[in-house]
C-alpha cells in the first residue's frame, strides 16, 4: 500500500501516519488536509466504498474515519449529497466580547469551552420514539396557536420532574415553557422593569450575555461579592432582584453555602425582592445527592429557571420557568403568542420526561461526564502538579487554578494549539467584587467521545 | 336497546336521537352532555370496548363517536389516560380586542374564524418520516447553539421552494428562519426603528395584532386607502416602509392590481422605502397560477415573509423572511441567538420540502379547501341569495358581503348558535380609508372535516 494516499476526484495526496492504526492514520491525514485548507470547504469526498477500494482497505475503516471527522465538525454528511468538507471547519477565536459558544455554528476541532454538552451523545433514537408517541397521541388542537405558557402535557411533566429531581414546588399552572434560559431571562427583565425594578444584582462571575440581556431591559447589574462560601448577598439592599446560580456557581463550581441560601431568601421576604435561580445544570452532581433548588425554600419569592440545553442539547431551544403566583400573569403576558415554542418539541419532551427516557439519558450522561472529570483530574495531577482542579463536585466543567499571571499565556498557547479554551477572566464581571484569580474554565463535556482524549492531551500540553 | 344510555362510572343518562344512525346519535348525545356541563371537564369516559358492550352496539361505532368529538375538541384522547372531557370545551367569545384565534387553546365546537388551517389534517405520518430522516442525517453540531439565520439545510430548501412556487429570488444566505410571521414582523419593526424609520403604513384591512407589534416597536401605522384595485400606495410619501398582502389581501381576498404592484415597487426605489410582503397563504390559489411574489420585482426593496402556519400548522412556529442584502445583517443581529427556533423542526421542514412531501400536502389541502369553498358558495347562493360571496379565488377564507347594517346582528346570532365568526369590522383599521362595508370573514379551512358540514349549516342559519 502506498504511503501517500490519493483521494480520487479531489486530487490530493494524504500522508497519514501508520503508527496508530489505519483508521487513526487516515483520520489524522484527512483532518490535516482540511485544517490546512488543502481540502476546501464544500469539497465532496469520495464514497467510503470507492475510497476503501482505491486504498485497498476495509470500507468500515474509511466510514469510521469519516464519522470521526463528522463528529469533530471537519466534515458534514448528508443523505443524498454525500460527505463534504464542512463550510466552517475553523477554530473559533477565543477572546473578549460575546461568548464564542454562542457564535460557533460548526464546532472547533477541539473545544473545551463550557456551555454545550457532548452533542454526539444526543439520544436521537429515544427522541424519535418520544416524537412518534407525541405525534400519535396529540389532540388536533395542539397544532394550533397554543397557550403562551406552553403545552399542558409538558408543564405537567416538568412540574412532576422538577419536584422529584430538584425539590421545586411547582403547580403546572406556574410553569412557563421558554425557548431556553436566555429567552426566559429576557422575559423576566421586561417584567421586572415594567414593575419599576431598576437593579438586578448579579454574581461577580457569570456570563456577560446574561448581564447584557438585563441591561437591554433597562436594568442595572451591579456585582455581588464572591468568597469561599459563594456569592455574598449581604449588600443587596433595595435591589429589586438578584440573579444567582445557587446549586453550582457558574463558572466557579461551588454550591451556595446553606447560611447564604437562607440569607438571600430572608432578604427577598423582607424587601419584597425576587431571586432568579439559574439552575442550568442541576441534574449533574457527582459527590452526593443534588443540592435542592432554592425555590423550594420560598416559591413565592424565587423564580426557578431551567433548561434542556445542558441535559439534552441547546439546539432544542427548550427551557422553563417556575413562577411565583404573583408574577405568573405578567410573565405570560410578556411572552404572549409570538414567543411560543414549537409544539412538537414540547410534546416530545413531555413524553421523554414521563416515559423515563430523560432520567435514563441523564444517568448515562452523568456517568460518562464523571469519567471525563476523573480523567481530567488525574491527568492534571500527573502532568501539571502546580495546577489545582476545583469545582468538580457537579456540573459539566471544572475550574483549573493556575499560578499568578499564568492565565493569559495559557489561553494564548491554547489558541495556537487549535484548542478553544476560556480563562476565568472571560466570565468576570467588569466590576467584580472578589480577589482576582488566574484560572481556566474547562468544559469537559463539550467534545464528542472521539475527540475527548485529544482535547485532554492538548490541554495538558498548554498547562504550566 | 334502551332509549336512555347510561355511561358506566359516570352515572349519566344519554338520550340520543336515533334518527340519524347510531354513531350520529351517540355523538350528538355525548356532545350535548359535555356542552351542557353534565359531563364535567376532565371526566374520564369508559373505554370504547366497555361502553359498546354495555350498549350492545359495535365497538367501532363508539370509537368513531369518540374520534369525532376529539376532532371537534369536546374530548381529548391520550395514550395511557384514555378519553376524557376536554378541559376547555367551551366556545370562545367573539368580540373586540385581541383576536380570539390567538387566545383559543382548545378550539370552539364550531369555528369559522380564519387564520388556522384544518388541524385534523396535519400530516402526522409524513412529518414523522421527515423527522426520522432529519434525525438520522443531522451532523452532531446541528444540536448546538446554531446560526441565528437558521439551519443551512432549511434555508437552502426554502430558497429553492420559494423560487419555484412563489417566484421569489432568494439566496439561502438571505433567508432568515423565524418562529412564525409575527416573530418576523417584530424583528423587522426593531430593525426599521433602529434605522430611524418612524412610519410603517399598513392596509385599511388587516390584523390588529400586526399593527400593535409595529406600534410596540415605536412605529406609527397609518392606513392606506383600499378600493376595487386593492390597496392604493399612492399616499405613501416619505413613509419608511409599508406592510402589504399583495397576493391575497387579508381579509378582503383580492390580488393587488398589477399597476399597483409596479407603483409600490417604484415608490420603494424612488424613496429608499421598504415593502414588507406578507405572503401568508400564497400556496393556495384556485382559479389560475398563483400570483407571484412581489419580491420577484425587486429583491433589494421587498422583504418577503412566509409561514408554515397556514400550509401546515401554527403550532410548528415556523416562518421565514427573505431579506434584501442591505438589511440582512441588521435583521440577523436583531434576532441573535435567543430568538432561534428549535433545530429539529427546522431540519424536519427541510426534509419535508426537499422530499416533495410539502408539495403533496399542499396539493391535497388545496383540493379539500377548494371543495369546501365550492360548497360554501353553493350553500350561500341557495339559502341566502342576498349575500354575495367574494375573495374566493385563493386562500382559506371568503368574504360574505351582507346588506347594510346586517353584520353586527349576524355575528351576534352566530355567538348564540355556538359559532365562532368574525365580521369585517374586526379587521378594520381604526382609521381605515375606505367605504364601510357589512361583511363576514369566513375561514372555511378552520373546522375539521367532521365538523365542516355542521359549521356550514350553522352559518347558513344565521345569514339574512
pLDDT reported for residue A79? 64
pLDDT reported for residue B107? 40
Q: Which residues of B touch A180 (CB under 8 A)?
A: 338
Q: What number is the average pLDDT over the span B267-274?
A: 97
Given a cut of 90, whether residue A265 has pLDDT beyond it is yes
pLDDT reported for residue B338? 73
pLDDT reported for residue B31? 78
Residue B87 sits at the chain A interface (C-beta within 8 Å): yes
pLDDT reported for residue A406? 96
Given a cut of 70, whether residue A17 has pLDDT beyond it is no
pLDDT reported for residue A104? 35
Q: Which residues of A touch B119 (CB under 8 A)?
A: 140-144
Confidence label for B62 from pLDDT (cuts 50, 70 and 90): confident
pLDDT reported for residue B12? 43
Q: Which residues of B touch A135 (CB under 8 A)?
A: 124, 127-128
| Own/partner pairs, B256-262, CB within 8 angstroms, 24+ separation | B256/B229, B256/B230, B256/B231, B256/B294, B257/B229, B257/B230, B259/B229, B260/B229, B260/B230, B260/B231, B260/B232, B260/B233, B261/B294, B261/B297, B262/B297
Tell me: the pLDDT tens digits for B100-156? 333 333 344 689 999 999 999 999 999 999 999 999 999 999 999 888 999 999 999
Cα within 13 Å of Cα(A448), Cβ side: 21
Residue to test with chain A: of B88, B129, B135, B139, most A Cβ within 10 A: B139
pLDDT reported for residue A103? 34
Given a cut of 50, whether residue A10 has pLDDT beyond it is no
> How far is the C-alpha of B31 from the C-alpha of B68, rounded, in Å?
10
Taking each helix axis from N to C end, the angle separating B449-462 and B407-416, rounded to the nearest 10 degrees, works out to 130
Given a cut of 90, whether residue A85 has pLDDT beyond it is no
Residues in chain A: 464
Tell me: the pLDDT tens digits for A48-80? 777 776 666 778 888 888 877 776 677 887 766
Q: What number is the average pLDDT over the span A391-406?
A: 95
Residue B105 sits at the chain A interface (C-beta within 8 Å): yes
Could you tell me which residue, B376 or B70, shows the higher pLDDT? B376
Confidence label for B416 from pLDDT (cuts 50, 70 and 90): confident
Helix (H) or strand (E) holding A290: none
Tell me: the pLDDT tens digits for B147-158? 899 999 999 999
Query: Domain residue spans in chain A?
Result: 5-85, 110-120+360-462, 138-355
Per the omega criterion (within 30 degrees of 0), is the bond before A251 cis?
yes
Cα within 13 Å of Cα(A462), Cβ side: 28
Q: What number is the average pLDDT over the span B365-375?
A: 96
CATH number listed for the domain at residues A110-120+360-462: 3.90.1150.10
Highest mean pLDDT among A201-215, A278-292, B15-29, B54-68: A201-215
Query: Measured between CB atoms, which of B139, B314, B344 is closest to A77?
Result: B139
Residue B92 sits at the chain A interface (C-beta within 8 Å): no
Average pLDDT score, chain A: 87
Could you tell me which residue, A123 or A338, shows the higher pLDDT? A123
Q: What number is the average pLDDT over the span A154-167?
A: 94
Share of chain B above pLDDT 90, in %: 69
Share of chain B above pLDDT 70, in %: 87
Query: Measured between CB atoms, which of A141, A183, A344 is closest to B345?
Result: A344
The CATH architecture of the domain made up of A138-355 is 3-Layer(aba) Sandwich (3.40)
pLDDT reported for residue A54? 61
Lowest mean pLDDT among A61-75, B42-56, B188-202, B340-354: B42-56
pLDDT reported for residue B59? 80
Q: What number is the average pLDDT over the span B51-62?
A: 73
Confidence label for B46 from pLDDT (cuts 50, 70 and 90): confident
Q: What number is the average pLDDT over the span A115-129?
A: 96
Q: Which fold has domain A5-85?
A: Arc Repressor Mutant, subunit A (1.10.10)
> How far is the C-alpha of B220 from the C-alpha of B198, rounded, in Å?
6
Helix, strand and coil in chain A, % to nearest 5: 45, 15, 40
**A282's grid cell:** 442541576
Reported ipTM: the value is 0.77
Residue A6 sits at the chain B interface (C-beta within 8 Å): no
Q: Which residues of A touch B213 (CB under 8 A)?
A: 338
Confidence label for B19 from pLDDT (cuts 50, 70 and 90): low
Confidence label for A382 from pLDDT (cuts 50, 70 and 90): very high
Distances from the Cα of B205 to the Cα of A65, B298, B445, angstroms:
59, 25, 20
Residue B179 and residue A448: Cβ atoms within 8 Å?
no
How distant is the Cα of A367 from the closest Cα of chain B, in angstroms? Answer: 20
Residue A315 and residue B146: Cβ atoms within 8 Å?
yes
Nearest in space to B186 (alpha carbons), one of A336, A316, A328: A336
**A254's grid cell:** 461551588
pLDDT reported for residue A71? 66
Average pLDDT score, chain B: 87
Lowest mean pLDDT among A107-116, A290-299, A425-434, B227-236: A107-116
Residue A92 sits at the chain B interface (C-beta within 8 Å): no
Lowest mean pLDDT among A99-113, A137-151, B161-175, B387-401: A99-113
The DSSP result for B404-460, as a single string, is TT-HHHHHHHHHHTTEE-EEGGGGB-TT-BS----EEEE-TTSS-HHHHHHHHHHHH
Per the omega criterion (within 30 degrees of 0), is the bond before B399 cis?
no
Amino acid at each position: 500500500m502506498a504511503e501517500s494516499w490519493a483521494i480520487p476526484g479531489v486530487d490530493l495526496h494524504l500522508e497519514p501516519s501508520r503508527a496508530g492504526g489505519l483508521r487513526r492514520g487516515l483520520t489524522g491525514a484527512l483532518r490535516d488536509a482540511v485544517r490546512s485548507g488543502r481540502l476546501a470547504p464544500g469539497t465532496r469526498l469520495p464514497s467510503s466504498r470507492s475510497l476503501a477500494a482505491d486504498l485497498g482497505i476495509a470500507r468500515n475503516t474509511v466510514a469510521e474515519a469519516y464519522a470521526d471527522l463528522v463528529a469533530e465538525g471537519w466534515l458534514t454528511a448528508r443523505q443524498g449529497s454525500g460527505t463534504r468538507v464542512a463550510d466552517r471547519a475553523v477554530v473559533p477565536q477565543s477572546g473578549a466580547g460575546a461568548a464564542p459558544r454562542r457564535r460557533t455554528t460548526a464546532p472547533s476541532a477541539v473545544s473545551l469551552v463550557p456551555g454545550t454538552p457532548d452533542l454526539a451523545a444526543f439520544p436521537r433514537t429515544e427522541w424519535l420514539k418520544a416524537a412518534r408517541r407525541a405525534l400519535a397521541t396529540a389532540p388536533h388542537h395542539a397544532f394550533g396557536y397554543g397557550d403562551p405558557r406552553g403545552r399542558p402535557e409538558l408543564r405537567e411533566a416538568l412540574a412532576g420532574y422538577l419536584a422529584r429531581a430538584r425539590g421545586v414546588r411547582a403547580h403546572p399552572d406556574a410553569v412557563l415553557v421558554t425557548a431556553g434560559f436566555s429567552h426566559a431571562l429576557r422575559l423576566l427583565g421586561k417584567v421586572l422593569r415594567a414593575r419599576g425594578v431598576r437593579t438586578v444584582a448579579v454574581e461577580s462571575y457569570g456570563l456577560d450575555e446574561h448581564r447584557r440581556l438585563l441591561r437591554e431591559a433597562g436594568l442595572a447589574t451591579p456585582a455581588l461579592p464572591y468568597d469561599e462560601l459563594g456569592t455574598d448577598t449581604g449588600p443587596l439592599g433595595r435591589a429589586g432582584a438578584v440573579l444567582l446560580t445557587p446549586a453550582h456557581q457558574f463558572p466557579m463550581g461551588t454550591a451556595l453555602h446553606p447560611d447564604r441560601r437562607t440569607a438571600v431568601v430572608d432578604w427577598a421576604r423582607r424587601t419584597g425582592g425576587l431571586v432568579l435561580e439559574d439552575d442550568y445544570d442541576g441534574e449533574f452532581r457527582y459527590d452526593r445527592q443534588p443540592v435542592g433548588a432554592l425555590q423550594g425554600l420560598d416559591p413565592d419569592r424565587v423564580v426557578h429557571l431551567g433548561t434542556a440545553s445542558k441535559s439534552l442539547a441547546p439546539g432544542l431551544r427548550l427551557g422553563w420557568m417556575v413562577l411565583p403566583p404573583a408574577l405568573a400573569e405578567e410573565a405570560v403576558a410578556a411572552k404572549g403568542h409570538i414567543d411560543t415554542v414549537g409544539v412538537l418539541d414540547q410534546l416530545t419532551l413531555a413524553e421523554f420526561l414521563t416515559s423515563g427516557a430523560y432520567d435514563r439519558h441523564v444517568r448515562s450522561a452523568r456517568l460518562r461526564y464523571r469519567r471525563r472529570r476523573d480523567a481530567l483530574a488525574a491527568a492534571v495531577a500527573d502532568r501539571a502538579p502546580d495546577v489545582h482542579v476545583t469545582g468538580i463536585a457537579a456540573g459539566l466543567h471544572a475550574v483549573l487554578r493556575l499560578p499568578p499571571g499564568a492565565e493569559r499565556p495559557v489561553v494564548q498557547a491554547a489558541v495556537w494549539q487549535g484548542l478553544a479554551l476560556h480563562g476565568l477572566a472571560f466570565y468576570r464581571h467588569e466590576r467584580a467584587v472578589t480577589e482576582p484569580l488566574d484560572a481556566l474554565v474547562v468544559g469537559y463535556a463539550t467534545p464528542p467521545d472521539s475527540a475527548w482524549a485529544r482535547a485532554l492531551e492538548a490541554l495538558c500540553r498548554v498547562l504550566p
